[in-house]
Amino acid sequence: MSVPEDLLELAAGYALGSLDEADRARVEALLASGKHPELNAAVAEFSEASALLATGAPSARPSPALKSRVMSAIVAESRPAPAAHTTAEVPPATERGRIVELKPRRTPMWVHAAWGTAVAASLVFGLVTWNETVRLGRELTAQRGQVSELQSKLTEEQRWSDVVTAPGTREAALQVTPDGQAEMSGRAIYDPKTRSAVIVFENVRVPSDKDLELWALKSDGVQSLGLLAADESGRVTLRIPDAGDPAAVAGFAVTIEKTGGSGNPTAPGGPIVLAGKFAPLQANNP
């Protein structure tokens, strides 16, 4: 099946990563639809051809130490996360006591007195045991609640982990502008399928009379995504459930605003201090 020339042009630009935003979104939608296998084939062929351009670079080799750094980084990535601790630990089973059978006898008075004392003691003991049982029951209920909460948190963490590791995610490195503090940086990962984003900032310092506001950069403007709040180390991790339409979102930016933010969800009031756009997608979107 021959490919229309306009689709071939789109396929070539897409494979080279040089399409403008709107064209790239259009190609991705066409590829995702599965209705144009000839387009998929053209993109694959053009991708192979464009990748060969790499051989035009002058030959060079890195330092030998690079390989060991790469392998160390791989090992660090592969290390499993520490197991989450749970307070819902099952207490060890108590050991059963040994039962001794008593033979029936004539009971002298002192035995009756002793029994009376024993009954009284057992009543007290029973009361104490009952109270302890109630206490343990309440504790178990509380622990079950904690387990349930931990499970919910784990599910939530897994969801955000899926955002970061999903195939087809878009990444943007946010770099500081002349209006920002030189050591600030940010990195955004956006999942077009869920529209969720995880953005991590480092070395963020906010003046006491200001706020930093995050914006989604779109093809038709900007959209506020809220204010940043850094911890003591200057690190901010934002989890954004809906960062916007994948056909429109192109990146993210941070502005410095008066306390409380710009007050306008579609128009910053202050200068941009950090900004970054998504890198162009390639055919085998890594």
Closest approach of Cβ 20 to other proteins, in Å?
5
Closest approach of Cβ 154 to other proteins, in Å?
21
Looking at 2, 33, 34, 58, which residue binds other proteins (CB under 8 A)? 58
Binding map of other proteins across residues 179-218, x = CB under 8 A, - = no contact: ----------------------------------------
Do 254 and 214 touch, CB atoms closer than 8 A? Answer: yes
Phi-psi region of 17 (alpha: psi -120 to 50; beta: other; left: phi over 0): left
How many CB atoms sit inside 10 A of residue 282's CB? 15
Q: Which residues contact 86 (CB under 8 A, 6 or more apart)?
A: 146, 147, 150
Q: Give the chain's radius of gyration (CA, Å).
A: 32
* CA nearest neighbour of 243 among 227, 224, 260, 230: 224
Do 255 and 213 touch, CB atoms closer than 8 A? Answer: yes
Query: Measured over all CA atoms, what is the biggest interatomic distance in the chain, rounded to whole angstroms?
Result: 114
If binding means CB under 8 A, how many residues of this protein chain bind other proteins? 62
Instruction: Compare residues 70 and 113 and give the one whose CB is closer to other proteins.
Output: 70
Looking at 4, 9, 139, 221, which residue binds other proteins (CB under 8 A)? 9
The single-letter DSSP state of residue 177 is -
Summarize the chain as % helix, strand, coil (round to 5).
Answer: 40, 20, 40
Looking at 34, 35, 74, 102, which residue binds other proteins (CB under 8 A)? 74
CA distance 245 to 193: 10
Looking at 29, 66, 111, 113, which residue binds other proteins (CB under 8 A)? 66
Closest approach of Cβ 226 to other proteins, in Å?
24
Instruction: Compare residues 171 and 245 and give the one whose CB is closer to other proteins.
Output: 171
Phi-psi region of 221 (alpha: psi -120 to 50; beta: other; left: phi over 0): left
Instruction: Compare residues 59 and 94 and give the one whose CB is closer to other proteins.
Output: 59
CA distance 281 to 16: 9
129 is a contact residue toward other proteins (CB under 8 A): no
Interactions with other proteins, residue window 138-177 (CB under 8 A):
165, 167-168, 171, 173, 175-177
Instruction: Compare residues 143 and 282 and give the one whose CB is closer to other proteins.
Output: 282
Interactions with other proteins, residue window 18-57 (CB under 8 A):
18-20, 23, 40, 43-57
Instruction: Compare residues 13 and 244 and give the one whose CB is closer to other proteins.
Output: 13
Question: For binding to other proteins (CB under 8 A), which residues are involved?
Answer: 5, 8-9, 11-13, 15-20, 23, 40, 43-63, 66-67, 69-71, 73-75, 77-78, 165, 167-168, 171, 173, 175-177, 275-276, 279-280, 282-286
